[in-house]
Amino acid sequence: MNVPAVPDRIESDYRSPILDRPGAVDADSASPDVGVPFHYGDPLGEQRAADAGAVIIDRSHRDALTISGGERLTWLEGFVSQHVSELSDGEGAETLVLDANGRVEHHALLSDVDGTVVVDTERGRGGPLLQFLTKMVFWADAAPVEADLAVLTLTGTSLPEALTAPDGTDVTLPVGDYASVTLPGGGIARRMPWPLNGAIDLVVPRSGLTAWFDAAVAGGARPAGSWAFEALRVAGTTPLRGRLGVDTDEKTIPHEVSSWIGAVSQQGAVHLDKGCYRGQETVSRVHNLGRSPRVLVRLQLDGSVGDDSVVTGAEVRAGGRPVGRVGTVVQHHEDGPVALALLKRAVPADAELDIDGVAASIDPDTFPQDTGPQAGREAVKRLRGQA
């Protein structure tokens, strides 16, 4: 696959050329999405456009890597949480990298196409991820490097089956979660289950970012900002798709974000039956013997207060006691102000919550439903004669 060579890493002052489009508004300087369009003057209309058709969203602030070499997949298998060694050409996955205690260090998207794994991850995470991967190479035939690639996301309820590339070539878009095809001029198109089911990530050479954005617009997609992407991710998917570093903290373990648990076919990032990897002991212990101490849920916020009253990282309280932290906060065009939050599992689903004076309630559709005792715990009881 044709992949651009090593670039200059995206820095905190990155500014996408798409911000030069008429009406494009940058995010606040404190936002993790600063440097790409936040909206184009009609943020709620952009969300409604996704519900009625298709939108194109600039996510070029994400970091990208590639991994070449004949042993790239079997090598990755040894230290990532997803089962990836048997991926076929054009297949992909989500995966995590955990520390020795099972806490989440990295979340990444993988696409194996034409002998190369394309990796993209959150802004600022690419450098540390590359350092980790490089240290893990040893004698394996695997070569991780930075890649000069940028991400655009085409999403909505009515997506085309094909897209005309900037050079006029018609590209048939892939079918099936995480399926990928190569793009003319380099890069890939990858099918995704979020922010809405069936979304397409265009992972394209950074030099062609504007041309690909314009090609999507010419194909009928409306420009939409990161506000729309986050609103669709928070309010449009169940189970919830947590964002590393925003909806999580340094203590997060995989089971706290339920969408991360499962095989590729389950749209998960943690395969529960694969071989050993760093942090697996925590995953197995929680799965078999216990439940995660916290859970990611969606909150409905009191809409009578100001838009900036609740911020990421704020403390969630119940009965005057701290019970969690706020993650993504966003205004949805139908649901109003909503947020994701990591809450203690013991918090009742109908608890009255307070966030800096703003009332909040848990969306019951996102509250975990305990399905009875785990098999592992019951086995321990039998061994102890307690069953």
Q: What are the tens digits of pLDDT across the range 155-186?
A: 999 999 999 999 999 999 999 999 999 999 99
Q: Which amino acid appears at position 235 of this protein?
A: A
Sign of the torsion formed by the C-alpha atoms of 263, 161, 204 and 223: negative
- H or E element in which residue 77 lies: helix 72-77
Phi, psi of 54 (to 5 degrees): -140, 145
Q: What are the tens digits of pLDDT across the range 43-101?
A: 999 999 999 999 999 999 999 999 999 999 999 999 999 999 999 999 999 999 999 99
pLDDT of residue 381: 40
Measured CA to CA, the distance from residue 185 to residue 362 in angstroms comes to 46
195-202 mean pLDDT: 96
**One-character DSSP codes across 241-276:** ---TTTT--TT--GGGSGGGBB-GGGT-SB-TTS--
DSSP count for the chain of H helices, then E strands? 7, 21
Q: Is the pLDDT of residue 375 over 80?
A: no
Q: What are the tens digits of pLDDT across the range 310-348?
A: 999 999 999 999 999 999 999 999 999 999 999 999 999
Say what percent of the chain tops pLDDT 90: 86
Q: Confidence band (pLDDT; 50, 70, 90) for 382?
A: very low
Measured CA to CA, the distance from residue 300 to residue 302 in angstroms comes to 7
pLDDT of residue 387: 52
Measured CA to CA, the distance from residue 233 to residue 280 in angstroms comes to 28
pLDDT of residue 16: 98
